[in-house]
Structure 1
Amino acid sequence: MNGMVEVVNKNIKKIIKKMTVNYKDWHEMLPFALLAYRTSIRSSTEATPYSLVYGMEAVLSAEVEIPSMRKRLTALCHGQCYQQRMAKAFNKKVRLREFSPGDLILWKVLHVALDSRGKFTYKYDGPFIVKEVFDGRAIILNYMDGNENALSVNADALKKYYP
């Protein structure tokens, strides 16, 4: 299975190493290590192996006796849901700037100019002409007189120029 069993065994071995004091008692910690592995969330599937097999989360015996632990886990889930909602709301407001060859743009000044005028210093250089746009939001610029700029620029440092 493409080494999947070896990866699982390696992870369980790491868990057992952290739990044992002496190498002779590893067999006593094996059930606890397996439980920890089966009930921990994997980042690749964002689910536990137990929930993938049985379709529901495992209820530990301690959770039955101590309901506050289940409440803490539920609160943790709500915290993750809150983070996802906040990220979705933030990403909804983000506007991607679309550039195409021939557009006039301004390039944000990221360095301190020698003739710095404090807050009255120019914030953008330009205008420039977009020569080529790549998939990774990299853009090659030309000067207005036709000379090509040697650097590719990230689109985050650009804005459209309207004469």
Structure 2
Amino acid sequence: MTHKGRWAEQLPWVLWFDRTTPKMSTGQTPFCLVYGTEAILPTEIISSTARYGLAIMETNSVERAHDLDMIDEVRDMAKLRMASHQQAVARSYNKNVHIRTLAIGGLVLRKVFQNTMDTTAGKLGDTWEGPYLVDDIVGRGTYKLFTLDGIQVPRSWNILHLKKYHM
């Protein structure tokens, strides 16, 4: 209970850590992408590291000007890396996706939903109903259906709720 409400005191340190940590998608820190140079951490100032302690004002000005000249290239490389990272994530996600299509005139079963389910059937009730005829392709993965008697089923149906009927 002694730590309750102290998150506000720790928030600046957490934000500083987040802004000075290189991100996997860009390969750069958000601080670097905004200001054009890497941030000097408070511990580097306190313990006088080589990067901070050996810096000379003249060379620092030259390096800072060079960093500012190169910021557009750094941002462009970060954009390229981010696009590459997004493609890799999409490829990883989509490797298990199997595209299914149905032919017009084919027979399908439709998933039974709770509002169309027979309330007396219990847990052993049908989970699929039909068969239905595919009448028309409305959009990507969306179909119009007809009963075998020729009555049109209201609304279009997504392929997630349909499966092929094999005789």
For normalisation by structure 1, the TM-score amounts to 0.49
For normalisation by structure 2, the TM-score amounts to 0.48
Q: Look at both structures and tell me which one has the larger radius of gyration over its CA atoms.
A: 2
